Amino acid sequence: MKHTATSWISGICLLALLPAVAACSEGSRESQKSGASTATEPTSEASRSQEGGPSAQATSRDTAAEWVAAIVQDRARRACLLMGTARTGSTPAKANTKEMCSGRGTEAEEARNLLHDLHASFALDPPRSSPEVVAEEVPESGGTATFGGDQVTVDGQTLEAVMLSNSSGVEDSELELEIVATEIDGRWYVTDLPVSVG
């Protein structure tokens, strides 16, 4: 049965379930190009900001790589600050705020918990404090860019392969993941996480 997430929250909800329903996959498709954007803990602008606010996020690749790195490292607050909501109808796209990502309210706590749960799907085995995350160059059109799960690598493994290695019951051909980034006020944010299983 196919399930396509309609928002980043529903995408995270589905991905958070994958460790319980997906099978270990030995196959990993490596994809690392010279034009790709790389994020690592010691050198990334995101880590230099130490969760104090968004980095320059000058390109969609920068943001996609930084966001995946934050999830892999279980830095929910940092990942939250790299996210936003896409435009819907007359409602403009909006970046997440520090208050939303760091607040004590129910919405902030639920968002952080969902991102923490997502870490289980993106985690490396063995864990690494400074994973190298690479996002390929993809077209940016109309202020949006979409990365397939095989267009982002974590220490040489595609993101889809990492997710499958953390799961049981889902075949490689059954999982489709995309990361959608949107330009908001001159910076790029992850705004959607469409996922299909089955």
The answer, yes or no, to whether residue 39 has pLDDT greater than 80, is no
| Sequence spans of domains, the chain | 8-191
Residues 75 and 154: their CA atoms lie apart, in Å, by: 16
- Which of residues 106 and 25 earns the better pLDDT score? 106
What are the DSSP calls for 126-154, one per residue? S--SS--EEE-----BTTEEEEETTSEEE
Segment 50-61, tens digit of pLDDT: 344 445 588 999
What would the pLDDT profile of 158-190 be if each residue is shown by its tens digit?
A: 999 998 888 776 777 778 889 999 999 999 999
Q: 118 and 15 in contact (C-beta within 8 Å)?
A: yes
Tell me what pLDDT residue 18 has.
42
Residue 36 CB coordination number (10 Å): 17
Query: Looking at residue 71, what is its pLDDT?
Result: 93
Tens of pLDDT, residues 107-156? 778 888 888 888 888 888 888 878 899 999 999 999 999 999 999 999 99
Q: Are strands 157-158 and 94-95 parallel, antiparallel or unpaired?
A: unpaired
